[in-house]
Amino acid sequence: MKHFLKKLNRKKNYFLKSKKLALKLHLITALAARKKSDNNLEYKDKLDYIILPFIGKGIGDAIVIGSVVETLANHGYRVLIISDKRTHFVFEHNKYVEKLFLYDKTNSREIIDELKRYPKSVFVDSHEITKDSVEAFKLIKDIKPFKTIGFNDKYKIYDHAITSYDILGHVSNRYVALLSYLNLPEEAYEYSVAIPEKNKVEAAGFLSGLKAKYVVTFTPYGSVRERFFSEKQIVAVLDYFKTCSDVHVVIIGEQNKIKHIPDDTNITKNHHGEFFTAAELVRCSDLVVSPDTSIVHLARAFNKRIVCVYPFKILSHGANNAVAWGPNYSRARQIKLVEKNIMDADINVILSAIEEEIQAIRASNQ
């Protein structure tokens, strides 16, 4: 009975939070009082700047949108990105970004004042509706861009809502739909990541000390606890690799999370803390093993073999997370769990997939 009441209370709290969020967003929409512009507007002739907000989003989101930024820039648009500290560094070295704004609530007025000086701009809110949408809606209200585009037709703050795509499908569908709406080539969409030269050099120095024929990067911990391998599972994965004399495993992840894992003859922790050094290690790998979606999207950007593990999760708009944020390319081996936590899963399922990929790599190099 106690468990039932707790579950009921959680559902009630979630319902109240969602209603409160919707009310807040509708209020901001009303305050914005936007007069809708012509939805048949010829963008190429009349618009110069595209503003993309990236507030409260993850590194994986930033990787997924990388090619959109490149495609827009290659077709004459000047891309302005507003991001918070979590993803700001991902865009810092992107040559296709005209200007990058580091956002926090203390400097929003400064950013708003500058962006108001771009009269021929379109604000594209490409994300699903979450609590972080409040900041994006406030920016629209205060910047007053020439045109706004969103992907949810419930809110009139958008001049146009793109809904002609499978909302339960892969997240890339919305970006393909955006390019189509802007009359840009959809086939141009692909993930892209710009790695700074210093991180390439750092990774090369690290890899030069490894003597094995094949390199495997292993990420034992994702960004949230549901994506953590248990200590027992980590030992099982590493014990398997210890039997592979032609493989060297590089453990990557946040330094404070992986520091307790011992190195071994063919197992070495990446001791460089920067994300882009880890990204270069992924690029140089023969196989990637990861529960972390940012690493999954990196692997896709570099078309690397990967065994990626997804715990069960349904997103706020009803999509299965393993579908919406899955690898979505042919060289990926995706394990979709029924468990909500990876540490509750049968490690033998994961080990079998890893072993099959190692055998395939060996066979392709004979």
Last residue of a domain, one of 188, 214, 229: 188
Ordered per-residue pLDDT tens for the chain, 366 residues: 655 555 555 655 555 566 666 666 666 666 666 655 544 445 445 578 999 999 988 999 999 998 899 999 999 999 999 999 999 999 998 999 999 999 998 888 999 999 999 878 999 998 876 777 888 889 999 999 999 999 988 888 889 999 988 989 999 999 999 999 998 887 767 888 989 999 999 999 999 999 899 999 999 999 999 999 999 999 999 999 999 999 999 999 999 999 999 999 999 999 999 999 999 999 999 999 999 999 999 999 999 999 999 999 999 788 999 999 999 999 999 999 999 999 999 999 999 999 999 999 999 988
Based on the fold, state whether residues 218 and 150 are members of the same structural domain.
Answer: no
Count of other CB atoms within 10 angstroms of residue 154: 13
Last residue of a domain, one of 144, 163, 188: 188
Based on the fold, state whether residues 77 and 207 are members of the same structural domain.
Answer: no
Count of other CB atoms within 10 angstroms of residue 90: 27
Based on the fold, state whether residues 238 and 338 are members of the same structural domain.
Answer: yes
Based on the fold, state whether residues 90 and 181 are members of the same structural domain.
Answer: yes
Based on the fold, state whether residues 211 and 174 are members of the same structural domain.
Answer: no
- What is the pLDDT, as a whole number, of residue 121? 92
- What is the pLDDT, as a whole number, of residue 235? 98
**Orientation of helix 66-74 relative to helix 172-181, angle to 10°:** 10
Last residue of a domain, one of 136, 162, 188: 188
Question: Which residues, 6 or more positions from 211, have their beta carbon under 8 angstroms from its beta carbon?
Answer: 248
Kindly tell me the sign of the dihedral angle through the C-alpha atoms of 72, 149, 121, 138. negative
Based on the fold, state whether residues 251 and 123 are members of the same structural domain.
Answer: no
Question: Is 14 a member of any domain?
Answer: no
Kindly report the pTM of this predicted structure: 0.88
Based on the fold, state whether residues 237 and 163 are members of the same structural domain.
Answer: no
- What is the pLDDT, as a whole number, of residue 40? 47
Based on the fold, state whether residues 260 and 343 are members of the same structural domain.
Answer: yes
Question: Is 135 a member of any domain?
Answer: yes
Based on the fold, state whether residues 330 and 349 are members of the same structural domain.
Answer: yes
* Domain span at 310: 197-364
3-state secondary structure the chain: CHHHHHHHHHHHHHHHHHHHHHHHHHHHHHHHCCCCCCCCCCHHHHCCEEEEEECCCCHHHHHHCHHHHHHHHHCCCEEEEEECCCCHHHHHCCCCEEEEEECCCCCHHHHHHHHCCCCCEEEECCCCCCCCHHHHHHHHHHHCCCEEEECCCCCCCCCEECCCCCCCCCCHHHHHHHHHHCCCCHHHCCCCCCCCHHHHHHHHHHHCCCCCCEEEEECCECCCHHHECCHHHHHHHHHHHHCCCCEEEEECCCHHHHCCCCCECCEEECCCCCHHHHHHHHHCCCEEEECCHHHHHHHHHCCCCEEEEECCCECCCCCEHHHHCCCCCCCEEEEECCCCCHHHCCHHHHHHHHHHHHHHHHHHCC
Based on the fold, state whether residues 69 and 112 are members of the same structural domain.
Answer: yes
Based on the fold, state whether residues 220 and 345 are members of the same structural domain.
Answer: yes
Say how many domains are in the chain. 2
- What is the pLDDT, as a whole number, of residue 24? 62
Question: Is 4 a member of any domain?
Answer: no
Whole-number Å distance between alpha carbons of 131 and 181: 26
Question: Is 53 a member of any domain?
Answer: yes
Nearest Cα to Cα of residue 351 among 237, 265, 197, 254: 237
Question: Is 153 a member of any domain?
Answer: yes
* C-alpha to C-alpha distances, 77 to 47, 48, 188, 292, nearest whole angstrom: 8, 5, 15, 32
Q: What is the CATH number of the domain that holds 130?
A: 3.40.50.2000
Based on the fold, state whether residues 184 and 241 are members of the same structural domain.
Answer: no
